[in-house]
């Protein structure tokens, strides 16, 4: 899994991080359609992403990401998944996470 900022987040910063629109953006993951099918996730369905630090439920959408990769915008949900270790850089690792993925009924 890789996390990053999106242009939509940049546009939404003016309405505030507490807005429903912003919260929806940072609570949505993008997966390749073939990966979604393999895990049994339908577009718009819920998916639980787990790391050694936490498990978070996201809305899942299809997108143009490579097979085997998940993209999620930075936000409070990704902060829970990252944990606190920064390896002395001041920023937790946010790229190339190994995660567990499961469909949520």
Residue 77 · residue 26 · CB < 8 Å: yes
Reported as a single tens digit per residue, the pLDDT across 14-50 is: 777 778 888 898 999 999 999 999 999 999 999 999 9
Look up residue 90 and give its two tokens.
């001041």
Say how far apart CA 29 and CA 86 lie, in whole Å.
23
Q: Does 93 or 2 have the greater pLDDT score?
A: 2
For the chain, what is the mean pLDDT? Answer: 86
Q: How many CA atoms lie within 13 A of 103 on its CB side?
A: 13
CATH of domain 2-104: 2.40.40.20
Domain boundaries, the chain: 2-104
Residue 71 · residue 4 · CB < 8 Å: yes
Say how far apart CA 84 and CA 71 lie, in whole Å.
20
């Amino acid at each position: 899994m890789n996390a990053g900022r999106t242009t939509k987040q940049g546009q939404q910063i003016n309405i505030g991080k507490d807005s429903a629109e912003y919260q929806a953006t940072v609570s949505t993951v993008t997966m390749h359609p073939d990966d979604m099918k393999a895990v049994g996730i339908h577009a718009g369905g819920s998916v639980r992403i787990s790391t050694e630090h936490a498990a978070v439920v996201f809305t899942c959408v299809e997108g143009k990401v490579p097979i085997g990769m998940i993209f999620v915008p930075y936000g409070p949900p990704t902060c829970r998944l990252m944990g606190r270790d920064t390896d002395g850089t001041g920023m937790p690792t946010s790229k190339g996470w190994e995660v567990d993925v499961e469909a949520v009924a």
